[in-house]
Amino acid sequence: MKKIVLLLFCSAFLGQAALAQNIAASASDSVYEHIGGRRLTLGGYGEAVYSRNFYSDNVYRYSSPASYKNEPSHGRFDIPHAVFYISYDFGKGWTLSSEIEFEHTGTGSATEKEFDEGGEWELENEKGGEVELEQLWIQKTFASWLSIRAGHIVVPVGLTNAHHEPLNYFTVYRPEGEYTILPCTWHDTGISLWGRVKDWRYELQLLAGLDGFMFDREGWIHNGAGSPYEFKIANKYGLAARVDNYSVKGLRIGMSGYFGRSMHNSYPHDLEGDGKKYDNVKGNVAIGSIDFTYDDHNWIIRGNADYGYLSDASTISYIKRNLAANNSPYKKNPVGRNAVAVGAEGGYDIFSIFNSKCLDGQKFFVFARYEYYNSYIPAKDQQRYPYTGKIRVAGGINYHPIRQIAIKAEFSERFFHKTYNNEPSINIGIAYEGFFR
């Protein structure tokens, strides 16, 4: 058992850009392909962060905003992600890759339904959402235009999921809009067909479906890909697709989407007492996304727009609220019919102005970011919660003493409907990506 744990601890992905050029144009695939004849590839990425938030952290700050307007600031240390990766090339086109992720230093639990205790829900400290096997798959490559990957895989819907390593965004934390409304990093079990033809890269995936009972107001479908159990329920399935184009030097433009049914994908027979009352409730999830990255002339500019739709949102919200077991793991608050996230950021390397050998490849980006997102856009018959719609503006720096390390600092502020208090903060962090040799 110790050897297995040690092997998993050696996991991670993404590496230096020079190495990535030898294996794939897409950053999300850069670490996963065999490099330079080496059979074993190790790598990793991670971040350490300090935040000072100049607003109340009270859970009632949105329901009673006037009561928490002048609350003192609060600080936090955090390890958002520590990811370790291992890949092995067996030869003849067969590759194995795995990745384990520790979020916020890593703790774990699982919810079980105890059948010998009258169906009572019980929390077991043995498995869970913050120490995760994010990827574990075997791939067969037939040609540059065709590979088949099967196992636990990343779902590349949206800019952040497709390029979620910390040197692929300027902000200290992952871009807030996509991180809020989508699973992030979105990973699930299924099969993937992908490849590259000239300036086009494509990927098609068949996946285990999302669980509509895990959707909620604060994060739309964010929690829907996970499972609180020791297994992943897959009564329903989903389809994901992504296409990227690299025709213009320095520019990548991508489109991605997802469609799947989320209702009746919860714990088996949890609604059996209702007969066939909800048989026609489908909970179809449809997501469309477009994104781009421009990296040339000492500028890096990125942008994304995501829009999501959930059918039967009102009915699903009603069912969740009235499930009999009060200690069940399902989300009790309502889920909206739609969600949206739009964002853009741009940074310029001011070290490029100076022609100095002393800089030796160092970079210093000054950046700004704007995003709007709303995790709860209700149907006509649903209650409204205006605080879920937010604008976030951030500005700061990224200093790269070497290519694989970034020191980040930013000031940001969330802007709400006038009823609520805005939320300014300062974040400072250090991040790395690279291969271990």
- Residue 422: count of CB within 10 angstroms of its CB: 13
- Specify the pLDDT at position 8: 36
Q: Which two tokens stand for residue 164?
A: 């979620």
CATH of the domain at 138: 2.40.160.10
C-alpha–C-alpha distance, residues 106 and 131, integer Å: 5
The pLDDT tens digits of the residues spanning 260-281 come to 999 988 765 556 555 578 888 9
The pLDDT tens digits of the residues spanning 358-371 come to 888 899 999 999 99
Low-confidence winner among 23-32, 119-128, 346-355 (lowest mean pLDDT): 23-32
265-294 in b/e form (b: 16+ CB < 10 A) is bbbeebbeeeeeebeebbbbbebebbbbbb
> Who contacts 201 (Cβ-Cβ below 8 Å, separation ≥6)?
24, 25, 26, 194, 195, 243, 244, 245, 246
Count of structural domains within the chain = 1
Element (DSSP H or E) covering residue 319: helix 313-321
The pLDDT tens digits of the residues spanning 8-26 come to 333 333 333 333 333 333 3
Nearest CA among 21, 25, 22, 17 for reference residue 36: 22
- Decide: 351 and 310 in contact? Cβ < 8 Å: no
- Specify the pLDDT at position 232: 83
- Specify the pLDDT at position 271: 62
- Residue 209: count of CB within 10 angstroms of its CB: 25
C-alpha–C-alpha distance, residues 81 and 64, integer Å: 33
Domain that holds residue 97: 2-436
Q: Which two tokens stand for residue 394?
A: 């951030």
Task: Choose the most confident range, by mean pLDDT, from 6-15, 278-287, 390-399.
Answer: 390-399
- Specify the pLDDT at position 131: 81
Entry pTM: 0.85
pLDDT band at 62 (very low <50, low <70, confident <90, very high): very high
pLDDT at 324 over 50: yes
Element (DSSP H or E) covering residue 314: helix 313-321
- Specify the pLDDT at position 114: 52
- Decide: 163 and 293 in contact? Cβ < 8 Å: yes
The amino acid at residue 97 is: S
More confident residue, 57 or 26: 57
pLDDT at 339 over 70: yes
Q: In terms of C-beta distances under 8 Å and separation of at least 24 residues, what long-range contacts does 74-78 make, across chains too? A: 75/50, 75/51, 76/49, 76/50, 76/51, 77/48, 77/49, 77/50, 78/48, 78/49, 78/50, 78/51, 78/104
More confident residue, 272 or 89: 89
More confident residue, 304 or 2: 304
- Specify the pLDDT at position 357: 77
User: What is the SS3 string spanning 207-240?
Assistant: EECCCHHHCECCCECCCCCCCCCCCCCCCCEEEE
- Mean of pLDDT over the chain: 86
pLDDT at 188 over 80: yes
The percent of residues above 70 in pLDDT, for the chain, comes to 83
Mean pLDDT of 296-310: 98
pLDDT at 256 over 90: yes
β-pairing, 82-91 with 146-154? unpaired
C-alpha–C-alpha distance, residues 205 and 225, integer Å: 14
